[in-house]
Amino acid sequence: MQFKNSDTKYGVIAKGLHWLLALLIIGVWISGVYMVELTNDAPNRSTFYMLHKSIGMCILMLVAIRLAWRLYNMRPRDPQIAKPLILLAHSVHYALYAMMFIQPLTGWAMSSAYGYNPTLFGWFKFPSLVPKDPAMAKIYAQAHEISAWILCVLFVMHVGGALYHLLIVKDDTVKRML
């Protein structure tokens, strides 16, 4: 089992963080779309919100770990494709990293501004990121929703790029992360 990345493929740590974050982001995105449609008296509404916030905070911590690992560890070499496609792929990756930070941070700011700091599955409460301010909470809520859709578009672009490599270029780009 190869822990660190090599020139040709990703190691088990990078792969594990990649796929864990992918699953968590899909799950938290779906739960977010679902929970905002719940009425205030819906059963388990508070449980959905707590789980959504807790998973969001896990994502924030895991993205920090993933970025640190990426900076510490080498990246496999780029595939032999046109330079504009390499630039597009790198741009999508950088934007994904940015949004994986922005998305949970706007959620944390929104929760803090509403006066409901996120917890980690009820074990402990995170400190306020911003002061309680219902007017600002609405702005953070808009930023959180917009960044969720941007993250979704970037996610689709990332998956589209993977499918392009797998089905059209037929190189080993996808295999490096499997």
Predicted pLDDT of residue 8: 86
Contacts of 56 (CB under 8 A, 6+ apart): 28, 103, 104, 107, 108, 118
Closest listed residue to residue 67, CA positions, set 78, 79, 75: 75
Question: What are the boundaries of each domain within the chain?
Answer: 12-177
Which H or E run includes 131? none
pTM: 0.91
| Structure confidence by residue, pLDDT tens digits, 89-140 | 999 999 999 999 999 999 999 999 999 999 999 999 999 999 999 999 999 9
The SS3 of residue 57 is: helix
The CATH fold of domain 12-177? Fumarate Reductase Cytochrome B subunit (1.20.950)
Contacts of 88 (CB under 8 A, 6+ apart): 161
| Structure confidence by residue, pLDDT tens digits, 38-64 | 888 888 888 999 999 999 999 999 999
CA dihedral 35, 40, 45, 49 (to 10 degrees): 60
For 126, the token pair is 């995170």
